[in-house]
Amino acid sequence: MAVKNFNLCFCIFLFFVALPLHSYANPSKPKAEKPSAFEFIKHLEGCHKGEKVEGLQQLKAYLEKFGYLNYNHSQNQNHANDNDFDDLLEAAVKTYQLNYHLKATGTLDAKTVSNMMKPRCGNADIINGTNWMRGGKKRPNQAHNTFHTVSHYKFLPGSPKWLSNQLTYAFLPGTNSDAQSAVARAFDKWAAQTHFTFSRSQDLGSANLKIGFGRLNHGDGIQNAFDGPWGTIAHAFAPTDGRFHYDADESWSVGAVPNAIDYETVALHEIGHLLGLDHSSVREAIMFAEAPVGVTKGLHGDDIQGIKALYNIA
């Protein structure tokens, strides 16, 4: 009897050992109590120029990641890795505040801190020093010899585009069916507004677009590493790279679920990057950088104007 029990226990042990410890295909379930990857910003509320506060070094890394701060060509290079609230950091905070429709004080007030802590796309807002989120595109009004703002969409640097309007997509091994279905729906919505057709391929190697999950530093370079729950939730690369990754550590959902992020909403946003759009300053646009939690979003007029302008679609 003892031998039989030992054999049974040994078999169960082997069964569990054989299982993978974790799969990127099984992202986290909704869970309200998860700490935010941006939680450190909360303790910086009220900070302003001239102060030295623990955690400002992390804020500098945050703002550098999203394009707002660059000490490389500054006389203050030695401040890049310290906790001093210097002139360059104040300027970066002001630019962030302008992009997100906040009062540009340069101080980490409550609204700014709250905004910075929200989950968001991992793609930068400002690339190579170019920032168009703030003012939109201005075109002349011939009748009145003036300029008026017509949109706030932005193209990725160099306006990269796909030469073909027939693109294939494939999923990384193990990508769950909920994500696959949501991505397919998102492609259909972009196709309805463009000249593109998107067809699924089973050949990952030859597909134009490659979609799946990643965790932390997942092979896209340290600058594109994910950061755990409620931080950067996904990213995608410009044409014609074709990579689009969800963060496996986030709480994902199909549709609007409290304390979770909708697969399809994020897919719509990241496909915009795959096609060549950058972040918009229009809060209602799908290309706005923040990830909506517990709600869904669809394509906005600004997104549609942007993609049609990029590809000269009538």
In which domain, by residue range, is 281 found?
A: 155-311
Evaluate whether 226 touches 216 at the Cβ level (below 8 Å): yes
Q: What value, to the nearest 5°, has the Cα angle with vertex 254 and ends 16 and 117?
A: 90
163 shares a domain with 302: yes
Quick one: DSSP state of residue 212? E
176 is a domain residue: yes
How far apart CA 207 and CA 164 sit, in angstroms, is: 13
167 shares a domain with 99: no
223 is a domain residue: yes
User: Residues near 171 by Cβ (< 8 Å), separated by ≥ 6?
Assistant: 179, 180, 183, 204, 210, 211, 212
CATH of the domain at 62: 1.10.101
Residue type, 18: A
* Paired tokens of 261: 């992020």
202 shares a domain with 259: yes
175 is a domain residue: yes
Q: Residue 267's closest CA among 259, 257, 258, 255?
A: 255
172 shares a domain with 252: yes
Evaluate whether 287 touches 280 at the Cβ level (below 8 Å): yes
Q: What value, to the nearest 5°, has the Cα angle with vertex 128 and ends 125 and 134?
A: 40
299 shares a domain with 173: yes
233 shares a domain with 290: yes
Q: Residue 246's closest CA among 179, 191, 292?
A: 179
How far apart CA 113 and CA 89 sit, in angstroms, is: 14
> How many structural domains are present in the chain?
2
pLDDT at residue 30, rounded to an integer: 58
CATH of the domain at 178: 3.40.390.10
Average pLDDT across each block of 10 residues of the chain; the chain has 314 residues. List them in order. Answer: 42 34 53 77 98 97 96 81 96 96 97 97 91 54 41 91 98 97 98 98 97 97 95 98 98 98 98 97 96 97 98 95
Helices vs. strands in the chain: H and E counts, helices first: 7, 9
pTM, to two decimals: 0.86
Residues flagged as binding site for Zn(2+): 121, 218, 220, 235, 245, 269, 273, 279, 287
The verdict on whether 270 is a catalytic residue reads yes
298 shares a domain with 215: yes
Catalytic residue among 39, 45, 54, 270: 270
2 is a domain residue: no
Evaluate whether 100 touches 134 at the Cβ level (below 8 Å): no
How far apart CA 167 and CA 105 sit, in angstroms, is: 45
Evaluate whether 270 touches 244 at the Cβ level (below 8 Å): yes
254 is a domain residue: yes
pLDDT at residue 132, rounded to an integer: 62
Domain finish residue from 117, 146, 163 = 117
Tell me: cis bond preceding 240? Omega within 30 of 0 counts: yes
CB count, 10 Å around CB of 261? 25
- Helix H, strand E, coil C: the string for 146-203 is EEEEEECCCECCCCCCCCCCEEEEEECCCCCHHHHHHHHHHHHHHHHHCCCEEEECCC
Query: Per this entry, what is the length of the chain?
Result: 314
User: Residues near 212 by Cβ (< 8 Å), separated by ≥ 6?
Assistant: 24, 25, 171, 172, 173, 174, 175, 245, 246
Q: Residue 274's closest CA among 248, 301, 223, 310?
A: 310
* Paired tokens of 149: 């703002």
Residues flagged as binding site for Ca(2+): 227-228, 247, 250
57 is a domain residue: yes
